[in-house]
Structures are given as C-alpha cells and as structure tokens.
Structure 1
Amino acid sequence: MDDVRHTEVDGVRVTWRFVQHHLIAILAVDNARDASPVACFSPENYPDLARARELLPELARLWDAVRREFWAKLIPPQQLATGPHAWA
C-alpha cells in the first residue's frame, strides 16, 4: 500500500501516499489548473494528514477528501448480504 494518490477539491490537488499501511504522507499541494505549487515539502519532512491540516487549515475540504479516500482504501465497503441469511 505504498502507492501514490491524487485528490482534487476546489481547484487544488494534493499528491499523497500510504506509508506503512496506516499513515498518510503529503508529498505536494498544487493548483490543479496550472500545476503551480501551493505548498512544497521535502522528502525528509513530508507531513502526515494531521500536520497538513495544521499547516494549511484553509484546505480543510481537501484534507477531508483525502481522509475519506484513505479509509475507503484501508477498509473497503462491505457488500450487503441478501437472501435467507441476511440480517433484517
């Protein structure tokens, strides 16, 4: 689960990845229209999601979207059971 992901909200795109299966590293934040940097981080100090929220609180909707994608990947939605053994 060390793959790189991209999430875009309100014209801002964040590049992030899973670290050690349960953490998020924020790699870059760019303007989605022209790829101009909004925030840059070096590999020695990629912030996790909580730190990114502290550094750039105005991007709360973007961080919320990253959190949703993270949990959806970590714990995929379960299929609803149907048939005689389904819960009522």
Structure 2
Amino acid sequence: MDDVRRTEVDGLRVTWRLIRHHIIAVIAVNYARDATPVVSFGPDHFPDLAQVRELFPELAKLWDEVRHEFWTSFIPPQPQPQS
C-alpha cells in the first residue's frame, strides 16, 4: 500500500492511507504500546473517515487528529506577515 500513515492519540494508533481524490481510508486501530488490535477492516472495504466517525464515535479525538494531519499535509501553514 502506498502512502500509508500512522497517527497516535491517547495510546491508540490508527493506520490510514490516502486513496483516489484524497479520500482517507482507515485500515486499523491498535493500542500503541503493544499493537493489540482495537478494530481492523478487511482489504475489500476500508471505510473513509466519515464512516469510522459514525461507527466509532468514542474515538473522536483520534479521527480529529487524522483530519488535522491530512489538512496540514495538503495545506501547510502560511507564514505570518511581519509587522
């Protein structure tokens, strides 16, 4: 898989990747300390970020961080004008 990324929040690590048209596909969530699976998805269907938000709303902080990393990678912070 190309462009696989990992994001960690509160001891959880989500593995995700970008697919066509910049869609975030979630592959799995594991505990960061020992990689024990929390949830994983089969190769036939990796849900997008909106779908996992609906399926696992209790992981909102994790989904928020994935979204933040996604946007900062595509739209980096602009330099502030100097006064």
TM-score by length of 1: 0.85
What percent identity do the matched residue pairs reach? 62
Tell me, what secondary structure is at the counterpart of 2:67? helix
Task: Give the total of aligned pairs.
Answer: 82
Segments of structure 1 that go 5 or more residues without pairing to the other structure are: 83-87
Residue in structure 1 matched with residue 8 of structure 2 by the alignment: 8
Per the normalisation by structure 2, the TM-score is 0.90
Structure 1 runs, 4 residues or longer, greater than 4 Å off: none
Q: Structure 2: how far apart are the matches of 1:46 and 1:74?
A: 21
Residue identity opposite 1:80 in structure 2: Q
CA RMSD of aligned residues (A): 1.4
Aligned residue for 1:44, secondary structure, equals coil
For the pair shown, which has the larger CA radius of gyration, 1 or 2?
1
Corresponding position of 2:28: 28
For structure 2, the residue ranges without an aligned partner over 5 or more in a row are: none
Indicate the residue corresponding to 1:65 in structure 2.
65
Q: How does 1:44-83 map to 2 (within 5 A)?
A: 44-82=44-82
Deviation larger for 17-26 or 41-50: 17-26
